[in-house]
Structure 1
Amino acid sequence: MIQEVIVVEGRDDESAVKCAVEAQTIATHGFGIRKSTFALIEKAYQTTGIIIFTDPDHAGESIRKRLSERFPDAKHAYLSREEAKKDGDIGIENASADTIREALKKVRCISRETKVTFSKQDLFDYGLCGAADAAARRDYIGKKLGIGYGNTKVFLSRLNHYGISREEFEEAWTSSIHQIPFEK
Structure 2
Amino acid sequence: MIEVEKVIIVEGKSDKKKIATLIKEPVEIVCTNGTISLSKLDDMIEQFFDKEVYVLVDADEAGEKLRKQFKREFPHAEHLYIDRSYREVATAPVQHLASVLLGADIDIYTEYL
TM range (shorter): 0.7 to 0.9
Task: Give the TM-score normalised by structure 1.
Answer: 0.48
1:65 and 2:68 aligned: yes
Consecutive unaligned residues in structure 1, runs of 5 or more: 85-89, 108-184
Q: Residue deviations 1:92-126, cap 9 Å, x none? A: 0112222111111233xxxxxxxxxxxxxxxxxxx
Query: 1:4 is matched with which residue: 3, 6, 17?
Result: 6
Q: Which residue of 2 aligns with 1:20?
A: 22
Aligned-residue CA RMSD in angstroms?
A: 2.0
Using the alignment, how far apart are the partners of 1:17 and 1:44 within structure 2? 21
Q: Which residue of 1 aligns with 2:94?
A: 97
Superposed displacement of residue 39, structure 1:
4.5
% identical equivalent positions: 25
Cα distance in 1 for residues equivalent to 2:40 and 2:21: 22
1:76 alignment counterpart: 79
* SS, match of residue 84 in structure 2: coil
TM-superposed CA distance for 1:4, in Å, is 1.5
Give distance in 2, aligned partners of 1:35 and 1:4. Answer: 22
Note the C-alpha offset of 1:60: 0.5
Q: 2:33 aligns with which of 9, 23, 29?
A: 29
Taking the aligned partners of 1:26 and 1:77, their CA distance within structure 2 comes to 15
Equivalent-residue separation in structure 1 for 2:16 and 2:10 (angstroms): 7
Residue type of the partner of 1:91? E
Structure scoring higher RCO (CA < 8 A, sep ≥ 6) equals 2
Asked which structure has the greater CA Rg, the reply is: 1
- Who is 2:49 aligned against? 46
Q: Which runs of 5+ in 2 are unaligned?
A: 105-113
